[in-house]
């Protein structure tokens, strides 16, 4: 089924039960910037510098290279997002290009483990930083952190369930606040850079330290890419972006350029105040930096980190709801999850289930550490998505593409993602990687009976009807991808 020009430009008729195109250019940029900038820029500088062998020049180049890599990936996603502007992002594109089974493995891994665990980890990090000013002499109690983490997940779950406009407003406000906090770090660094001649010394011999080997460089890239996580989120909400053919590419380029510039300037600011050894030995680089520059209001940094994490968590929860929604519309998840609230026009069931699963992950927080061993799967997904782009170029040459990426870029991203998948497994093989792969493949045991053979669970339809009445939700009026179901 072809995409209508009305859907392309976001001019759906009023009265239809469907996601509304209400996100403009500024909203899209804020969602992307706010989702990328979380705790990473306050944590990753230590790891990047450590694996760069304290070589400042190499570390800054890696920060820039990670940004460029994410831009190249984003350009590939921009073609898919403008050609197929529907909710679901990578999952939708993999399903369209490579078929139902790879898409089901994707959504199984993302919705049951990676994304909920990531949200739980961010909620716990928020709780850690928001409570730290009250426990200056000791770490906050674990029980308090878990209560706060579940509380913030529930608050954001309610916000995203009640109103897209309210969730957008929260994202916009917290994106501005986190950029202001980063601006504070940058300005203080620039003042130090201009007034203290010793601050220039590390940059005069930036490349004179030991050069990292290939394995160390790869580890340094992993640390940097962690801070850029979230660059793909705009595609998940493509169904709600006004004029997606123009706003998706513009928003991606604008947001990524803003993030790269801020990341480089913040790292330079850290290095003007702290030595490389001090950065590597610091448990929290931003706090150590604040102790040196603004000791009288050092508490402002933990609060700034908490604000940053809050905005990133809101963006990820917004995105995750759309992933559940898209998977349900395609028949890979229960039908109730794809229904929209009849008054709010939000994917309320999808938001409820994603919030519940993330809250469950908070309780046995040791499970979150396992997400480290699923890190390769995110780049598996990037490789599959860009492979889908190449396949669709040849399978559907007549598909309207308002934006087309230079095809060699897609092949380059596939090669890089393959390296990033295999490198950690080959470099430090652990049994946990086998368990992660086994978990991904276990989805086939669910796919065969319930998706391929369409096995029906007794009384499930009645349960769905009762839930539909209870939640006041209705099936959507638009099912644009019937041919791929």
pLDDT tens per residue, range 386-427: 999 999 999 999 999 999 999 999 999 999 999 888 877 777
pLDDT of residue 463: 92
The architecture that CATH gives domain 5-478 is Up-down Bundle (1.20)
pLDDT band, very low/low/confident/very high, at 91 (cuts 50, 70, 90): very high
The mean pLDDT value for 285-295 works out to 83
Domain boundaries of the chain, sorted by first residue: 5-478
Can you tell me the distance from the alpha carbon of 206 to that of 359, in angstroms, rounded to the nearest whole number?
A: 45
Is the pLDDT confidence value at 13 over 50? no
Tokens in use for 16? 């239809």
* Percent above pLDDT 70 for the chain: 92
pLDDT band, very low/low/confident/very high, at 222 (cuts 50, 70, 90): confident
Task: State the Rg of the chain over Cα.
Answer: 22
Contact (CB, 8 A) for 211 and 53: yes
Structure pTM? 0.88
Beta strands in 73-178 (DSSP E): none
Q: Strand, coil or helix: what is 341?
A: strand
Can you tell me the distance from the alpha carbon of 309 to that of 138, in angstroms, rounded to the nearest whole number?
A: 22
Is the pLDDT confidence value at 170 over 60? yes
Q: Name the nearest CA neighbour of 335 among 463, 443, 440.
A: 463
Tokens in use for 155? 């608050």
Query: CA 165 → CA 21, 140, 284, distances in Å?
Result: 11, 34, 35
Can you tell me the distance from the alpha carbon of 43 to that of 38, in angstroms, rounded to the nearest whole number?
A: 10
Can you tell me the distance from the alpha carbon of 415 to that of 382, in angstroms, rounded to the nearest whole number?
A: 11
The mean pLDDT value for 252-276 works out to 91
Can you tell me the distance from the alpha carbon of 46 to that of 49, in angstroms, rounded to the nearest whole number?
A: 5
Backbone phi and psi for residue 324, each to the nearest 5 degrees, phi listed first: -60, -45
pLDDT 10s digits, 26-85 = 999 999 999 999 878 877 788 888 888 888 889 999 999 999 999 999 999 999 999 999
Q: Strand, coil or helix: what is 91?
A: helix
pLDDT of residue 372: 63
Is the pLDDT confidence value at 366 over 90? no
The strand pairing partners of 340, in sequence order, are 474
Tokens in use for 334? 């229960």
Is the pLDDT confidence value at 369 over 80? no
Query: CA 330 → CA 80, 96, 228, 266, 452, distances in Å?
Result: 18, 11, 29, 43, 12
Q: Strand, coil or helix: what is 340?
A: strand
pLDDT 10s digits, 434-480 = 888 888 889 999 999 999 998 888 888 899 999 999 999 999 875 45
How many CA atoms lie within 13 Å of 376's alpha carbon, on the beta-carbon side? 22
Residues 451-464: b if buried by 16+ CB within 10 A, e if exposed: beeeeeeeeeeeeb
pLDDT 10s digits, 308-328 = 999 999 999 999 999 999 999
Mean pLDDT (the chain, rounded): 86
Is the pLDDT confidence value at 429 over 90? no
Q: Is 141 exposed, middle or buried, given 0-12, 13-18 or 19+ CB atoms closer than 10 A? A: exposed
């Amino acid at each position: 089924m072809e995409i209508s020009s009305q859907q392309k430009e976001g001019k759906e008729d009023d009265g239809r039960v469907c996601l509304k195109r209400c996100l403009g250019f500024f909203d899209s940029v804020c969602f992307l910037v706010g989702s990328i900038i979380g705790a990473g820029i306050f944590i990753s500088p230590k790891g990047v510098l450590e694996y760069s062998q304290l070589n400042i020049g190499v570390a800054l180049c890696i920060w820039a290279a990670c940004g460029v890599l994410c831009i190249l990936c984003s350009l590939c996603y921009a073609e898919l997002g403008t050609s197929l502007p529907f909710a679901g992002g990578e999952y939708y594109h993999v399903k369209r290009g490579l078929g139902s089974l790879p898409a089901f493995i994707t959504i199984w891994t993302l919705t049951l483990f990676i994304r909920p665990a990531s949200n739980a980890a961010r909620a716990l990090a928020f709780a850690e930083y928001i409570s730290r000013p009250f426990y200056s002499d000791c770490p906050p109690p674990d029980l308090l952190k878990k209560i706060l983490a579940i509380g913030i997940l529930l608050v954001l779950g309610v916000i995203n369930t009640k109103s897209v406009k309210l969730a957008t407003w929260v994202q916009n406000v917290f994106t501005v606040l986190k950029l202001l906090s980063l601006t504070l770090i940058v300005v203080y660094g620039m003042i130090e850079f201009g007034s203290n001649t010793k601050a220039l010394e590390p940059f005069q011999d930036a490349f004179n330290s030991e050069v990292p080997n290939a394995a160390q460089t790869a580890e340094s890239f992993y640390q940097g890419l962690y801070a850029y996580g979230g660059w793909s989120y705009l595609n998940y909400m493509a169904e709600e972006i006004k004029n997606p053919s123009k706003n998706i590419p513009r928003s991606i380029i604008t947001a990524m350029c803003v993030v790269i510039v801020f990341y480089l300037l913040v790292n330079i600011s850290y290095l003007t105040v702290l030595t490389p050894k001090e950065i590597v030995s610091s448990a929290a680089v931003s706090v150590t930096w604040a102790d040196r520059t603004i000791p009288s209001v050092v508490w402002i940094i933990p609060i700034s980190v908490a604000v940053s994490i809050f905005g990133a968590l809101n963006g990820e929860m917004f995105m995750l709801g759309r992933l559940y929604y898209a998977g349900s519309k395609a028949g890979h998840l229960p039908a109730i999850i794809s229904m929209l609230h009849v008054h709010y026009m939000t994917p309320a069931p999808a938001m409820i289930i994603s919030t519940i699963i993330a809250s469950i992950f908070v309780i046995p927080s040791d499970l979150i550490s396992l997400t480290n061993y699923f890190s390769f799967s995110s780049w598996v997904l990037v490789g599959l998505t860009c492979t889908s782009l190449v396949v669709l170029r040849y399978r559907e040459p007549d598909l309207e593409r308002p934006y087309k990426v230079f095809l060699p870029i897609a092949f380059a991203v596939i090669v890089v993602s393959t390296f990033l998948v295999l490198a950690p497994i080959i470099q430090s093989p652990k049994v946990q990687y086998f368990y992660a792969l086994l978990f991904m493949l276990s989805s086939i045991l669910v796919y065969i009976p319930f998706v391929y053979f369409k096995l029906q669970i007794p009384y499930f339809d009645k349960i769905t009807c009762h839930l539909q009445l209870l939640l006041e939700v209705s099936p959507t009026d638009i099912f644009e991808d019937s041919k791929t179901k």
